[in-house]
Structure 1
Amino acid sequence: MKNILSMLLLLSVIIGCKSTAGKNSEVKGSSSEYGTQEDQMKYYFTATGNEPFWGLKMGREGIEFSSVISGKEKIVFPASEAIKAMDANIKMYKVSNKKSSATITIQQLECQNSTSGVISPYKVSVEIKNNSELVSTKLDGCGKYNTDYRLHDIWVLEELNGFKVFITDFQKELPRIEINAAENSFMGFGGCNAISGSIFYEKGLLRFSKVVSTLMACGPGNKEDQFVKALQNTTTYSIENNRLTLSNPSAKLLVFRKVD
């Protein structure tokens, strides 16, 4: 009887381990047409195209192009800064290595994958060639920016327009925001009312838009309006020492502390 109980206990442990391993594998291996979660954390922009299939991963350490095209199965270029259009959200990257060169154009224009039907916010074109070739291969596809995963957290306000804040500056408690990086959205508390909205993210750019709030009347001296205005004026950010700093070219606007 004791041996039977021991066998049953061992079997339950084995099944539990397999179940946990399966869940971990599912999280790590989960992917979309733009690659795994690990890819989307490492690269700030990813793109794909069909007929023939190709993929593009752009990161701060380099740019990786892959395809089913003979001689262009995998090409890695050094990281490069964008050439920006003056009158539209269009960025061009001219990259090269010892064997190949490419021109990558990213345009903020709704784009539909010709196979999956998935709608993406950016149209991407790639002209790529080996240096021994006279003519470039031209490819079109769709892409998206991968919102910085470090933003995905709950943040409580510490500074507003360069000054430390206190609970007495607001109705009940300090403002906070909870950012959902996967859905490009946020929700939180403005110091008097509940707030929510969308975030727009590109490399080096962060905007809070479509901000809505409940309509509770705020007490005199409440700085919620200043907080929301600063949030809407944000264009850039930095994360260091568990602090999220939101700024624009004119000033540092908000500093938050990570709380979970």
Structure 2
Amino acid sequence: MKNIISLLLLFSLIVSCKSTVGKSSDPQTTSEYGTQEDEMKYYFTATGNEPFWGLKMGNDEIVFTSLITGKEKIIFPSVEAIKAMDANVKMYKVSNETSTATITIQHLECQNSMSGEISPYKVTVEIKNNSELELEKLSGCGKYNTDYRLHDIWVLEELNGFKVFITDFQRELPRIEINSAENKFMGYGGCNAISGTLFYEKDLLRFSKVISTLMACAPGNKEGEFAKALQNVTTYKIGDNKLMLSNPSGKLLVFKKVD
């Protein structure tokens, strides 16, 4: 009887341990630009050193953190960017009841002075308390956080305004698999395998450096038309499990999520 009770106790301990392991949460991924949750909520993040500061820009708010301003966190309402005509430079003029700031984002390679990490954007922040005249000018590096909703497998439904069919291609419909964390994509163009990189900014998406295998395609195959449309994309919308890719001329491609 004692042996049976001991076995039951041992079994209950094993079950309890397994339950505890199953309930433990995975550690949240963190980089110098913040947590993974930050990158999902904010479209642009930046940091700087000497003194340390951080910037998170979202559709609803802009959050600046630093001890130099006398406050650990300052929240500004989001504003539209002032864009330079001849360069990829954006300026944001923001203010609230206590502070005023000018944020400038320049598409220029930037190296973190401490970690040595290379980022694609140089950032400057000029900020002051409204009760003071003197501006504090800070510099650092930043990056756009590619929309996590793009991270999926998408199969083509429409090309240049027309529904597509398997007979328009070699064996199956074109598809793309987007890796938003690495800004890369791969897939099938309707005849050949394709791959390339993404260029992403707020309200801007481009498929660039597109390469493909060189298999001969059957007459009438629309892979060339598909590849051309893909490389002309500048904007996107996601909704109802569909991805619509467009440019100023109109809708180019519509995909459906399949996984």
- Structure 1 and Structure 2 fold alike (TM over 0.5): yes
Contact 2:107 2:121 in 1 (8 A): yes
Deviation at 1:112, TM superposition (A): 0.8
Task: Look up the match of 1:65.
Answer: 64
Q: Structure 1's 40 and 121: CA in aligned 2 closer, same or farther, altered over 3 A?
A: same
Identity of aligned residues (%): 74
2:8 to 2, 6, 9: 6
Go from structure 1 to structure 2 and tell me whether the alpha carbon gap of 1:79 and 1:194 turns closer, same or farther (over 3 Å shift).
Answer: same
Is 1:25–2:26 an aligned residue pair? yes
TM-score normalised over the length of structure 1: 0.96
Structure 2 gaps, min length 5: none
Q: Is the 8 A contact 2:94 2:102 kept in 1?
A: yes
Paired residues for 1:144-163 under 5 Å: 144-163=143-162
Matches of 1:167 and 1:30, distance apart in 2? 41
**TM-score, normalised via structure 2 length:** 0.97
Q: CA deviation at 1:70?
A: 4.7
Q: Secondary structure at the match of 2:137?
A: strand
Q: Encode CA deviations 1:222-250: one digit per residue, 9 max, x unaligned.
A: 00000010000000000010000000000
AA paired with 1:75?
I
| Inter-partner Cα distance in structure 2 for 1:90 and 1:192 | 39
1:169 aligns with 2:171: no
Match of 1:91 in 2: 90
Question: What corresponds to 1:255 in structure 2?
Answer: 254
Aligned length in residues: 257
Distance 1:221 1:70 in 2: 64
CA RMSD of aligned residues (A): 1.1
CA–CA separation in structure 1 for the residues paired with 2:15 and 2:113: 46
- What is the match of residue 16 of structure 1? 18
Distance 1:145 1:12 in 2: 46
2:136 matched residue in structure 1: 137
- Summarize deviations over 1:3-30 as a string: whole Å, max 9, x none: 33333333323333343344x331xx21
Distance 1:113-1:18 versus aligned 2 partners, 3 A rule: farther
* Separation of aligned partners in 1, 2:23 and 2:33: 24
Q: Which amino acid is the alignment partner of residue 15 of structure 2?
A: V
On the 8 A contact 2:69/2:129 being kept in 1, the answer is no
Aligned partner of 2:193 in structure 1 is: 194
Residue number in structure 1 paired with 2:49: 50
Distance in 1 (CA, whole Å) between partners of 2:23 and 2:35 is 18
What per-residue deviation string (whole Å, max 9, x for no partner) do you get for residues 87-112 of structure 1? 11000000001111000000001111
In structure 1, C-alpha distance between the alignment counterparts of 2:229 and 2:8, rounded to whole Å: 63
1:179-238: per-residue Cα shift (whole Å, max 9, x none)?
000000000000000000000000000000000111110001100000010000000000
> 1:2 Cα deviation (Å)?
2.7
Amino acid at match of 2:111: Q
Structure 2 CA distance for partners of 1:68 and 1:6, relative to 1, 3 Å: farther
**Are the equivalent residues in 1 in contact too, given 2:69–2:128 (CA < 8 A)?**
no
